[in-house]
Structure 1
Amino acid sequence: MTTPDTTQPDSTAQRTTENSAVGPFPRVGIDAVALKPAKVDLARATELAASTLVVDYEGREAFPDADTLRALAETAEVRVTTPVRADGLDPLGDDSLSESIPEGVGRVLVAGNGAYLTEEEGQRAVAPRLGEATDRYPDAWVGTEGVERVALATGAPQFDLLSRSTERDARALRAAGFDGDLAVYAPTVLSDDEDAILDAVGGYVSRRAPVRRALPDEYETDSAATGRAREVLLAASKDFEIVGDVKTVRGRVEGLHGAGVDTVVGYPARGLDELLG
């Protein structure tokens, strides 16, 4: 498999950049749009000019029904994030919810965010569940924070959260001979306004482990942040998110593609209006 070459005349990144009708994310080279069903009306996503949609998992009560997923799949390739430790999505236990996902809708297999798991679910072993799930769904993406080695061992397409080492890690994987697909997820803000960035992604970046260690004991995470906390959060936003004006964002995305990342999944942290407006 060859990695994307943004200099080729027929490359997806160049075609979408040159075609202003396709929407803000494709114009800056972002390949897929992530959607949080508890925060947006998924029906509006059918209006997005996006070839790939990734529906995040925010708990069973927010899990989209089959009709909603079918409607999305009529307009784009759709993948649903499925935490393998969660009841209803557990390939070694209750997988009733997984069975409701329509044929043709892909999966992103993850361990699962503790915020959406019960204490019992959070204690379940990840490795055997990822192994079983990748056997069932060989086209699934596999990964996210904390399970990178296990995900890589499955041999499946890799799904990682953007970090300061992503480009270096992608180059190392390619140099070592990994020829599978690489997808990277990143909250995205198409603005260079510091307050707008902090209001949109300050909370997210503050939860990343290296950032937590660098923050002072007391701090705000939004535009009210001051002093050391503000400095840390703004610096970290450039490592763990894709933020900035169009030129800056396009440059970051091109850097990821050039390092060997196949699919950049952008989460519109300021909502769908930024993409539909």
Structure 2
Amino acid sequence: MVAGAALLIGNTGCNGSGKKTGDGKDSTKTDSSAAALSNIGKPITYQKDKRYIFLTFDDGPQPPGTINCKNIFHEEGVKATFFMVGFNLGIDAYRRRIADSLNNSYPEFITANHSTTHGFRDNYKRFYSNPDSAVADMLKAQTDLKIKLKIARLPGMNTWASGSEMQGPKSSLTVAKALDSLGYTLIGWDVEWQFIRGSIPKQGAQEMADQINKRFEQEYTYQPNAIVLLAHDRMFAKAPYTDSLRKFISILKQDPRNVFETIDHYPSVQNRKK
């Protein structure tokens, strides 16, 4: 293995304390939302005694899984990233509302690009054999999904790219280089929460937490002191799998060294902005 009509998190202006604009809208909430969104991508300072965990979930919006993940993360007080797929927006208006909500939930959540068609509907050979079409597919998703930063994950490929640093399967590198030249940072993954039969989590909560700890202990991650977990929204559509996700988060929270961050603070993204 190689190495998104939103409610503002934070309840600003609650209990009727927010100022009302002429159209009846709560200006405190609007101003706070704008301030939060203006900080997207602002670098953070890494602490040597902390371990940075990037929870990333692919293929959304996929209700009810996406909503379940979002609710669990909010209730547990952790940050996460949703790599979304453009064609999902055409299924119904509900998915657009989910995407819009995630786009306006920073700094708790951030959205990133996972293509329009998911590699021509999982036809990865054709997708990567036609780099111009593949790049166009990614650029369309950026616009349709209203992704704010140029952060992407290639469909079906564990590929990393940021300036001079590039790593991944040979078949994906032409597309990776083209996107990199357009200012995109590509994010792969260090650990995958796998699934079977299309959506059932393969590993349990403790097993996944153990894998995270082992990678940190072995210092076997793409970037030092940072680990990217790949999972998929649809895996957590119903119990007992939602319970497993919550337990996984609870286990990791027990270690005071663990810090959950959004992908705009991943080292290769921050370093590119310097």
- Normalised by the length of structure 2, the TM-score is 0.39
